[in-house]
Structure 1
Amino acid sequence: MNFETPPLVETFSDQLDRFIELEVEPLEAEHDQFLGETGEQSLLDADGRVCEEYLSVMDEIQRASVEAGFYTMHMPESVGGGGLSLLEFTMMMEHLHDRHPDGFHEDIVDLLSVTPALLPCHDDEYQRERFFDPVMDAEMHLCFGLTEPDHGSDITHMETTAERDGDEWVIDGTKCFITNSTFADAIMVHARTSGEDGDPRGISSFLVERDNPGWQQGKVQRAMGGDVGRHAFNHFTDCRVPAEQMVGEEGRGFMDAAMRLVGWTRLHLTAKCVGRAQWLFEQCVDYAKQRTSFGEPIGTRQSIKNMLAELRTDIEQTRWLYRHAAWRYDQGENPRWEQSAAWLRGGELWNRAADVAIQVHGGAGFFRSLPFEGEYRAARAARIYDGTDEIQRRTIANQFLDR
């Protein structure tokens, strides 16, 4: 294993910085009402959804990102992507997030639309033209309908069903906590088509378009922090979908779509956490050098030194944990326990970094004039989505207990 940053990643990182400078920062200056301590007030419309003006800015960034090669850099070259390995891509994600969180840079990629779960659509001419190509060109946005009101970690017990009726499938059920569902053009819905509760076999995946009358959106779910205005209850009642909009094979949607994403998602999310934590750490170091109390910089206090030393150590441990797991993934292995270990530590790291940043900045860190309280709220979700801390610990333990 080579511990040096690959030259391709260094080149891409430099190009990404240049892209942000030329394409993203001018839009941030033009639409600064969405940024800063009052930005959230402008971001949402009267119904609590992301407003159309912001969505148009997001679309502009993503179309430019397609042209620059960043939007699909993580997809295989065989389907028109950039062909980055998972290790290379996670390193890019760490670099993308190692900067001030109050900006539009996260819109450069859409990792809920452009995912490996979409790859089966490329092999089907109808799905490639109707869904895959528009998604790759940032002309269509997807969301991922898996979680239900009564089923999160136990998702294989889902109550959403789909029954065959001639040339259609009829979907009934409710999904919740679905990120980007308030504006997505289509949703990949997972529903049981056969099998028993708890069996991952028998769960199929379907692409449902926004104008389908059987897909009705309910209450918008107001998030504690982070991606506000993007979540809602999604109800499917007698939702009729053409048979050709089933993704992959019948009964294998959970295994071939949802489970295909598990390791990939957990590792790029861990990289995001490392990037966020690195930026928070650097802000703390700068502040500790400048802020004085009792006539000395607070960085001379042993208590501050201890906090920063522990945080820096945690960052480095988590960085190499996710990179090793990504490297193994690229070798054709699937170390599920190691992916879970990385994500467990990644979520904890982001939470701890935000907490340390507030503590080091004292009273100022508690208020919205600085970004740290927002990071504190956003980081908390990382210990829940894509598998709770408890699920990660169970996955790790089962590896060694032969479960």
Structure 2
Amino acid sequence: MAKAAATPDGLHFEPSTEIKIIKKQLDEFIEREVKPLEEEHDQYLGEDGMFNRADEDGKMTPEFQEIRNTIRRKSAEAGFLSMAMPEELGGEGMGDLAYSMVFEHLHNRNPDGFHRMIMSGDSEGMGGPVAPQPDKLTDYQKEKWVKPSIRGELTNGMGLTEPDHGSDPTWMDSTAQKDGDEWVINGTKTYNTMAPIADFWVIHARTSGEDGDVRGISSFFVDRDNPGIEVGKYQRYMGDPLAHQAFVHLDDCRVPEENMIGAEGRGLLDQLKNFGGARVYITAHCVGRSQWMFDKCVEYAENRKTFGEPIGKNQFVQGMLADLRADIEQTRWLYRHAAWRADNGEVPRWEISAAKLRGAQLWNKAADVAIQIHGGAGVMSSLPFEREYREARMSRIVEGTDEIQKRTIAREFLDFN
């Protein structure tokens, strides 16, 4: 796989030669490794496919889980799964701008396929942006949890959000108390991505400090077979019946000192910088999906005829497409500029929040426009747009709600101190 520079070559934000090569390699990987699996297991595709992927509880079936694991292992071997990870952990060391460009490219295709398993762009997988920084990890932690995840051999969950608290993770009821050479963790986590099939979790718990204080929250690796951790009720979300999330209960969960990530009381603080990357990648995902729907709408507007004329000649249809095209381009350059600043050592908090805000709104708008242009066919499950409409709505909640993003943006220019 071609290497990509961690920083862009100039201010144009166009894909470099290296990025174009990687995108071509990604397309070839999909044709070679993913599409044959789609042809062999087409029961998991189409309007009924998403229901065949889950058992009666909504959990991913063992058969579909094996397909996912196969793709992840092959992706790791090809270098795609770990592109965002530092080279010292076995990754490609790709910067935010380069990775987000490739991530957008990955999602600019039919969302019904298996290609979404190739790269980690959210909290699933240590190849994603929420993985701990290498200098916070011991050699033992790297070998036991992180590197196997990067190789696609393990799946991790993230234990951060709690039932009684919202978007501010610094308000946390989970605690960890020292007992000899062990930490005893108690608490409940919710919205744990991949919890139903996770091999281990990164659990955040307060070891000191008060509610609202980011300092005093520590992070721990906790294995699934730990007798003090229990996966509770599966949680299904809009757009996909698979229970990717679940409650996780920790009851006198004992972990050794060596499971703590970084310094005591700095676990969440050290990882906050990674959450901005997650928001950039989500925006790239939204742009990719929106671009794919836009292209499908253009094709439909040129070929679908009513009253003897293509519907694209209707000014109402032209107006919807023109607005959507402008929104896609605006959001694309917004996230790329934020990623460029991050790659150059800046902390573009408000720009990342602006990108996430506009990206989520864009995906929702694109799905709505696609349904409207396709008319009656658009609301049928035989086409993907009604599923896109439901799945897009989730993007305005995950990795910070619209309201949280607006608060961050407002704090850039309002000063009440």
1:154 offset after TM fit, Å? 2.4
SS at match of 1:157: coil
Do the aligned partners of 2:160 and 2:203 also contact (CA within 8 Å) in 1? yes
Per-residue CA deviation, residues 181-235 of structure 1 (Å, 9 max, x unaligned), is 1101001111111000110100011111010111111111121114722111111
Give the counterpart of 1:193 among 175, 189, 207: 207
Do the aligned partners of 2:201 and 2:221 also contact (CA within 8 Å) in 1? yes
- Is 1:126 paired with 2:140? yes
- Is 1:89 paired with 2:121? no
1:121 offset after TM fit, Å? 7.3
Please tell me the residue identity of whatever aligns with 1:354.
Answer: A
Give the counterpart of 1:145 among 137, 148, 159: 159
- Is 1:299 paired with 2:309? no
Partner of 1:210: 224
1:175 offset after TM fit, Å? 0.7
Give the counterpart of 1:179 among 164, 171, 193: 193
1:242 offset after TM fit, Å? 1.0
Report the TM-score, using the length of structure 2 for normalisation. Answer: 0.94
Please tell me the residue identity of whatever aligns with 1:99.
Answer: R
- Alpha carbons of 1:36 and 1:210: their partners in 2 closer, same or farther (altered >3 Å)? same
Per-residue CA deviation, residues 14-52 of structure 1 (Å, 9 max, x unaligned), is 000000000000001111111111012211113221111
Partner of 1:163: 177
Please tell me the residue identity of whatever aligns with 2:139.
Answer: E
Partner of 2:17: 7
Give the counterpart of 1:236 among 250, 275, 279: 250
Per-residue CA deviation, residues 287-310 of structure 1 (Å, 9 max, x unaligned), is 011111122111011100000000
Partner of 2:378: 365
Partner of 1:313: 326
The 5 A counterparts of 1:21-170 are 21-111=31-121, 112-113=124-125, 114-116=127-129, 117-120=131-134, 123-170=137-184
Partner of 1:246: 260
CA RMSD of aligned residues (A): 1.3
Partner of 1:332: 345
Report the TM-score, using the length of structure 1 for normalisation. Answer: 0.97
Q: Distance in 2 between matches of 1:384 and 1:238?
A: 31
Gaps of 5+ in 2: 1-10
Gaps of 5+ in 1: none
Please tell me the residue identity of whatever aligns with 1:333.
Answer: E
Do the aligned partners of 1:79 and 1:122 also contact (CA within 8 Å) in 2? no
Give the counterpart of 2:388 among 375, 397, 400: 375
Stretch deviating more after TM superposition (9-18 or 42-51): 42-51
Q: Distance in 2 between matches of 1:353 and 1:226?
A: 18
Q: Distance in 1 between matches of 2:193 and 2:235?
A: 10
Q: Distance in 1 between matches of 2:293 and 2:396?
A: 18
- Alpha carbons of 1:211 and 1:92: their partners in 2 closer, same or farther (altered >3 Å)? same
Q: Distance in 2 between matches of 1:15 and 1:296?
A: 40
| 4+ runs deviating over 4 angstroms | none
Please tell me the residue identity of whatever aligns with 1:197.
Answer: D
Do the aligned partners of 2:109 and 2:289 also contact (CA within 8 Å) in 1? yes
1:122 offset after TM fit, Å? 7.2
Partner of 1:354: 367
Do the aligned partners of 2:192 and 2:246 also contact (CA within 8 Å) in 1? yes
Per-residue CA deviation, residues 303-360 of structure 1 (Å, 9 max, x unaligned), is 0000000000000000000000000001100110000000000000000000000000
Do the aligned partners of 1:222 and 1:231 also contact (CA within 8 Å) in 2? yes
1:123 offset after TM fit, Å? 3.9
1:402 offset after TM fit, Å? 3.1
SS at match of 1:222: strand
Partner of 2:3: none
Please tell me the residue identity of whatever aligns with 1:89.
Answer: Y
Q: Distance in 2 between matches of 1:363 and 1:121?
A: 55
Per-residue CA deviation, residues 79-102 of structure 1 (Å, 9 max, x unaligned), is 221121111000000000000000
- Is 1:221 paired with 2:235? yes
SS at match of 1:177: strand
1:78 offset after TM fit, Å? 2.7
Partner of 2:299: 286
Q: Tell me the percent identity.
A: 56
Q: Distance in 2 between matches of 1:377 and 1:237?
A: 35
Per-residue CA deviation, residues 238-283 of structure 1 (Å, 9 max, x unaligned), is 11111110111110111112x1222100001100000000000000
Q: Distance in 2 between matches of 1:321 and 1:54?
A: 36
Stretch deviating more after TM superposition (103-112 or 160-169): 103-112
Please tell me the residue identity of whatever aligns with 1:271.
Answer: A
